[in-house]
């Protein structure tokens, strides 16, 4: 009772009921139990004969009326629904997949609402999910994509311009494209134009979950031709995205462990992840040894070997070439346990430049030779090879010119001690100058302590930049925050900001990452410091869950370190005690003591400055400490 009577119609409330039921993708076992129950009791069943498996109707009552909607107009369907419901009948309107996806239920529901006919929707398994199941893939692999876009290309039904495939492609997320396989070539063109790289994995699944299901895998660049050969023009779904490739994904929330350890430089992207690929049984055994000694390493095996060798960090691959491509895209360090020739052939299509390519190390499957093959310095292959050779008791093969002559690797030196934004061309010139035995100068003089520096007569070290510039050295490397234009320098002198700035930060609860970015940006700008010169950010232990701060640090790849009240009170600071900090946290202040502590009692170069919600102070780590830390990092 209690339902308001429609004054105009004066009819009794309708006793019948219309159920929109998702029949699932085809396999009659993939309908929900609830959907099946309704079908068992329905007086009238209207189903889309073109896509719904008639076997779903096997449980229908013998006297149920069954209509195929494929030959009916919306008007006729709605009319049938209304009429039956008014007669008190139970109606099952059966749609393929899930009714909410291209089910055209909106207009049917509008009619039912208008006619005050009770109705309910029972969900189903969409073909997008059946297709993913056939491929055994996850649409949302952490670190690869966390979004699934379901869309279609415009056909007879138009698609809003802002949802064109090209504009959706810009996200490079996982995508399921319905109703478009007959326009596959055009769809692919739009997806590539919109932003997916040509080699993005793609698949077409024809009649997912039906006995004649066909799966075609490829890349955006190849899929249309492959599907064309199979003459698939309908009843197929297109899936696109890196998740379809050989993904390993993030084992846990990105950065989580870095934050636990606090002090280690945060890992940006995948640069500290290692993929070990083996092709033989002996190789697999070596791979397992490596897994046991390298954190964040994953072993990839051919499917047959994987069957005998399972483990949480062991996975298998279908295609070595595709796996390699994914690893290069995600800049994962790669250890190939195979003949160097095979490795070279596999990596050849992926190789770009020493600044972009990940480290590639090759090991023969007896572990005798460990070869640093690609990105020896910047990518870290030399260090990785040395470490692995030691682990396996093998011979390490390194061929980079500076290393074989015992010179320091200047690019690595800058990577460890300096911040971004230096001229790579200049660096190359200096490297050539140094290896060629010509006089090369360094500032500050503490650089002398690094391995490979002292043994060479042509390397000299200076206590001031002026001295270095006046020295007659034909090339030089300077770590300084001073502006280089003050000196008479040519392009054989490289000026890099040392990565030695430690930010002490105090902030109000709920401050946004953006506000932090703006305040810090202003403070750094005023001092001519780049953001990349920040080595570490430090704050009070009560900020361990401060979302904006954590987000900012993660986004910038800056490690965060937290200090307890006792620690914050343990160092003298120049500014007056903050009454608020004393009252709320029981400390003399946060920004200044945190910066001083984080810099290992370096020099405070900016006393605290306060904006609305944020207090900042900057300290500089002593160069000797910076060197010591970077050497410890290298040993890690």
Q: Which residue is associated with the tokens 């636990």?
A: 260
Is 134 an interacting residue with respect to ligand SAH (CB under 6 A)?
A: no
Measure CA 288 to chain center.
26
Give the residue at shortest CB distance from ligand SAH. Answer: 97
Per the omega criterion (within 30 degrees of 0), is the bond before 444 cis?
A: yes
Of residues 135 and 609, the one with the C-beta less far from ligand SAH: 135
Q: Is 532 helix (H, G, I), strand (E, B) or coil?
A: helix
**Contact window for ligand SAH (CB under 6 A) among 101-109, 114-122, 434-442, 453-461:** 101-109
Q: Which residue is associated with the tokens 């900042």?
A: 616
Q: What is the 3-state secondary structure (H, E, C) of 475-502?
A: EEEEECCCCHHHCCCCCCEEEECECCEE
Are the beta carbons of 200 and 174 closer than 8 angstroms?
no
Is 236 an interacting residue with respect to ligand SAH (CB under 6 A)?
A: yes
Radius of gyration (C-alpha) of the chain in whole angstroms: 32
Strand 501-507 versus strand 534-540 pairing type? parallel
Which residue from 34, 59, 72, 102 is in contact with ligand SAH, where contact means CB under 6 A? 102
Is 208 an interacting residue with respect to ligand SAH (CB under 6 A)?
A: yes
- Integer CA distances (angstroms), 458 to 55, 150, 228, 475, in order: 84, 63, 65, 11
Of residues 103 and 559, the one with the C-beta less far from ligand SAH: 103
Residues in 491-550 at the binding interface with ligand SAH, rule: CB under 6 A: none
**Contact window for ligand SAH (CB under 6 A) among 126-134, 479-487, 529-537, 553-561:** 126-134
CA 541 – CA 48 distance, rounded (Å): 61
Is 597 an interacting residue with respect to ligand SAH (CB under 6 A)?
A: no
Which residue from 17, 45, 51, 84 is in contact with ligand SAH, where contact means CB under 6 A? 51
Strand partners, 531: none
Which residue from 69, 108, 126, 272 is in contact with ligand SAH, where contact means CB under 6 A? 126
Is 178 an interacting residue with respect to ligand SAH (CB under 6 A)?
A: yes
Is 217 an interacting residue with respect to ligand SAH (CB under 6 A)?
A: no
Of residues 177 and 417, the one with the C-beta less far from ligand SAH: 177
**Contact window for ligand SAH (CB under 6 A) among 89-97, 287-295, 301-309, 618-626:** 89-97
Shortest spacing between CB 74 and ligand SAH, in angstroms: 15
Is 52 an interacting residue with respect to ligand SAH (CB under 6 A)?
A: no
**Contact window for ligand SAH (CB under 6 A) among 4-12, 233-241, 341-349, 595-603:** 233-241
Are the beta carbons of 239 and 253 closer than 8 angstroms?
no
Of residues 74 and 339, the one with the C-beta less far from ligand SAH: 74
Residue 512: count other Cβ atoms within 10 Å of its Cβ: 15
Are the beta carbons of 74 and 108 closer than 8 angstroms?
yes
Of residues 127 and 402, the one with the C-beta less far from ligand SAH: 127
Shortest spacing between CB 133 and ligand SAH, in angstroms: 11
User: 3-state DSSP helix/strand/coil percent for the chain, to nearest 5?
Assistant: 40, 20, 40
Helix (H), strand (E) at residue 293: helix 281-293
Is 28 an interacting residue with respect to ligand SAH (CB under 6 A)?
A: no
Which residue from 30, 81, 89, 97 is in contact with ligand SAH, where contact means CB under 6 A? 97
The torsion region of residue 370 among left (phi > 0), alpha (psi -120 to 50) and beta comes to beta
Is 103 an interacting residue with respect to ligand SAH (CB under 6 A)?
A: yes
Contacts of 345 (CB under 8 A, 6+ apart): none
Shortest spacing between CB 161 and ligand SAH, in angstroms: 21
Q: Which residues bind ligand SAH (CB under 6 A)?
A: 25-26, 51, 95-98, 101-103, 126-127, 130-131, 178-179, 205, 207-210, 235-237
């Amino acid at each position: 009772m209690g339902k308001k009577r429609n004054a105009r119609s004066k009819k009794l409330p309708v006793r019948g009921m219309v159920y929109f039921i998702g029949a699932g993708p085809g396999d009659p076992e993939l309908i929900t139990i609830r959907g099946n129950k309704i079908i068992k009791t329905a007086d009238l069943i209207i189903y889309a004969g073109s896509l719904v498996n008639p076997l779903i109707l096997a449980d229908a009552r013998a006297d149920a009326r069954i209509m195929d909607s494929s030959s009916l107009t919306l008007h006729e369907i709605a009319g049938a629904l209304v009429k039956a419901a008014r007669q008190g009948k139970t109606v099952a309107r059966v749609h393929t997949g899930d009714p909410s996806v291209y089910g055209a239920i909106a207009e049917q529901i509008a009619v039912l609402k208008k006619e005050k006919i009770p109705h309910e929707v029972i969900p189903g398994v969409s073909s997008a999910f059946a297709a993913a199941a056939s491929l055994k893939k996850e649409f949302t692999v952490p670190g690869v994509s966390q979004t699934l876009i379901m869309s279609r290309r415009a056909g007879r039904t138009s698609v809003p311009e802002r949802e064109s495939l090209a504009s959706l492609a810009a996200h490079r997320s996982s995508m399921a494209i319905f109703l478009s396989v007959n326009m596959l070539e055009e769809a692919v063109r739009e997806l590539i134009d919109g932003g997916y790289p040509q080699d993005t994995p793609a698949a077409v699944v024809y009649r997912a979950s039906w006995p004649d299901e066909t799966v075609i895998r490829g890349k955006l660049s190849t899929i249309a031709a492959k599907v064309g050969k199979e003459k698939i023009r309908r009843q197929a779904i297109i899936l696109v995205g890196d998740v379809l490739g050989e993904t390993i994904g993030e084992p846990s929330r990105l950065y989580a462990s870095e934050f636990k350890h606090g002090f280690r430089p945060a890992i940006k992207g995948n640069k500290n992840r290692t993929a070990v690929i083996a092709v033989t049984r002996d190789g697999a055994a070596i791979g397992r040894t490596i897994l046991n000694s390298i954190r964040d390493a994953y072993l990839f095996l051919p499917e047959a070997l994987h069957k005998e060798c399972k483990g949480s960090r062991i996975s298998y691959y279908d295609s070595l070439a595709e796996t390699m491509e994914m690893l290069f895209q995600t800049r994962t360090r790669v250890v190939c346990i195979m003949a160097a020739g095979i490795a070279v052939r596999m990596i050849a299509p992926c190789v770009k430049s020493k600044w972009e390519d990940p480290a590639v190390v090759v090991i023969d499957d007896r572990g005798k030779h460990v070869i640093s093959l690609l990105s020896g310095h910047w990518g870290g292959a030399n260090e990785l090879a040395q470490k692995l050779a030691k682990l396996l008791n093998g011979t390490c093969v390194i061929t980079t010119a500076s290393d074989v002559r015992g010179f320091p690797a200047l690019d690595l030196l800058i990577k460890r001690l300096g911040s971004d934004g230096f001229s790579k061309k200049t660096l190359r010139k200096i490297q050539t100058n140094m290896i060629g035995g010509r006089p090369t100068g360094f500032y500050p003089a503490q650089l002398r302590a690094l391995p490979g520096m002292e043994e060479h007569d042509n390397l000299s070290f200076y206590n001031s930049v002026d001295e270095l510039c006046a020295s007659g050295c034909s090339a030089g490397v300077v770590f300084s925050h001073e502006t280089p234009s003050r000196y008479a320098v040519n392009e054989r002198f490289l000026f890099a900001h040392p990565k030695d700035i430690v930010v002490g930060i105090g902030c109000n609860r709920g401050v946004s990452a953006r506000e932090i970015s703006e305040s810090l940006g202003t403070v750094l700008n005023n001092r001519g410091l780049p953001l990349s010169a920040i080595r570490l950010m430090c704050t009070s232990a009560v900020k361990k869950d401060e979302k904006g701060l954590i987000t900012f640090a993660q986004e910038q790849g800056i490690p965060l370190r937290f200090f307890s009240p006792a620690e914050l009170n343990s160092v003298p600071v120049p500014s007056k005690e903050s009454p608020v900090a004393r009252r709320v946290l029981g400390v003399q202040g946060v920004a200044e003591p945190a910066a001083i502590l984080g810099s290992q009692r370096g020099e405070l170069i900016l006393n605290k400055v306060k904006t609305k919600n944020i207090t900042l102070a900057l300290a500089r780590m002593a160069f000797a400490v910076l060197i010591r830390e970077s050497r410890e990092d290298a040993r890690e």
